[in-house]
Amino acid sequence: MATIPLYPYGYKLNFLGRKEIHEERAAVVRLIYEKYIEGMNRYAITWHLIKHEILRPRGDSCDWQYSMVSRILEDERYLGNEKYPPILSAEMFEAAQAVRQREKDKAAASRHESCNANRRYHFSGFIQCGSCGSKYIRGLQQCGVHRKASWRCRNYHLKNEGKCKASGNIYEEVLEVVCVKAYNRVLRECLAGTIYAESKASQPASDKTLEMLIYETIEQMKYADELRMEELQNDLNVLMKKRTEAEWKSTPLDLGNYETEKLGRHFEKYPALMLELDIEKIKAVFSRIVASEPGELKLILKNGNEIFEKYKPMRGQTKHAKENRGYTCKADSRT
């Protein structure tokens, strides 16, 4: 099996054991540099060497590898030193290194762009400023010795020209709680509004009883604690299943409104209460969140209806509060 020489490709040992130029291979080294400087990338150069049946460094085959070409293009010994006579001029070597640096910069920029493209937070593009209409961006807010994710108006934070009277920062964890609460509120109201048949008088007695049980269960869920909520949810699931088995059909919320019908179908498909944030379900129900006054958010449903949810604003936060202190922007490219 052929072994890799202990000296760079393009050299050989003379009878005294000293390195000297292997003219045939040195010509290949110069060819690699010339092609690279002219714009041929390392993969293309590798294929060029294979195609022209040039022996690789081991000398056992023409099966060149990308890594072999890369090592040749970065080996400073080709410039010459006390042990190696020069194969390349300084100008040729530096020109190749300039190409390598451009490749590195381009690759780094590509990775950065890819990273930014994928940095899509849950609420990116979903929260709108009620004052200027700009989107909210994500940042880190100093909270004691820790930093917490929060959202604020992009226009207010980046431009800050006094044109926006934004409501200030909103902690991300607060947004999550508000969204879950609003979703469950709409779920209850939607189910309560669709459990009645179009003509109650025509319903069998068994259907009326089932309808009443569902209605009572939903009413209890409005005021139940977390432990009781789970029990009621299980009861509701059983009742809904029985209703389906009996082919009992409810009336849609609004037959004249396509988006309202879609909301009804969504909650028929997902009748369970949301216990933790599921952003896909949130965005299936709400079109956006509007932040206007501190302590209140307006959530706009897909069908245009609006609901308002209260939250506890940050300490000392007022409508015109300036909170840039300690705030680090984490804007993503798609807000």
Q: How many helices (H) and strands (E) are present in the chain, helices listed first?
A: 10, 10
Cα 238 to its chain centre, rounded Å, is 37
Q: Which residue has the tokens 């129900």?
A: 285
At residue 145, does pLDDT exceed 90?
A: no
**How far apart, in whole angstroms, are the C-alpha atoms of residue 124 and residue 43?**
39
Which tens digit of pLDDT belongs to each residue from 255-276?
Answer: 335 677 778 888 888 888 999 9
Rg of the chain taking only CA atoms, in angstroms: 34
Which tens digit of pLDDT belongs to each residue from 292-301?
Answer: 778 889 999 8
Minimal CA–CA distance to 276: which of 208, 177, 137?
Answer: 177
At residue 111, does pLDDT exceed 70?
A: no
Sheet of strand 136-143: strand arrangement = 170-171, 146-153, 136-143, 327-329
210 within 8 A of 246, measured Cβ to Cβ: yes
The topology under which CATH files domain 11-118 is Hect, E3 ligase catalytic domain fold (3.90.1750)
Residue 69 DSSP label: H
**Letter string b/e over residues 176-201, b meaning 16 or more CB atoms within 10 A of that residue's CB:** bbbbbbbbbebbbbbbeebbebeeee
Minimal CA–CA distance to 163: which of 131, 127, 137?
Answer: 131
* Residues 6 or more apart whose Cβ sits within 8 Å of residue 318: 168, 294
Cα 160 to its chain centre, rounded Å, is 27
β-strands 146-153, 11-13 pairing? unpaired
Residue 157 DSSP label: I
At residue 281, does pLDDT exceed 60?
A: yes
What does pTM read for this prediction?
Answer: 0.45
49 conformational bin, left if phi > 0, alpha if psi -120 to 50, beta if neither:
alpha
What are the beta bridge partners of residue 171? 150
Find the helix or strand (DSSP H, E) in which 21 lies: strand 19-21
How many C-beta atoms surround the C-beta of residue 154 within 10 A?
21
3-state secondary structure of 273: coil
121 within 8 A of 138, measured Cβ to Cβ: yes
**How far apart, in whole angstroms, are the C-alpha atoms of residue 318 and residue 320?**
5
pLDDT band at 192 (very low <50, low <70, confident <90, very high): confident
Minimal CA–CA distance to 149: which of 181, 124, 114?
Answer: 124
**How far apart, in whole angstroms, are the C-alpha atoms of residue 267 and residue 188?**
9
At residue 77, does pLDDT exceed 60?
A: yes
pLDDT band at 23 (very low <50, low <70, confident <90, very high): very high
Residue boundaries of the structural domains of the chain: 11-118, 122-195+257-335, 201-249
pLDDT band at 253 (very low <50, low <70, confident <90, very high): very low
Q: Which two tokens stand for residue 249?
A: 């059909």
Tell me the average pLDDT of the chain.
Answer: 77
Tell me which of 223 and 283 has the higher pLDDT.
283
Q: Which residue has the tokens 């952003």?
A: 279
The angle at the Cα of 269, spanning 249 to 290, to the nearest 5 degrees, equals 115
At residue 278, does pLDDT exceed 80?
A: yes
304 conformational bin, left if phi > 0, alpha if psi -120 to 50, beta if neither:
left
Residue 158 DSSP label: I
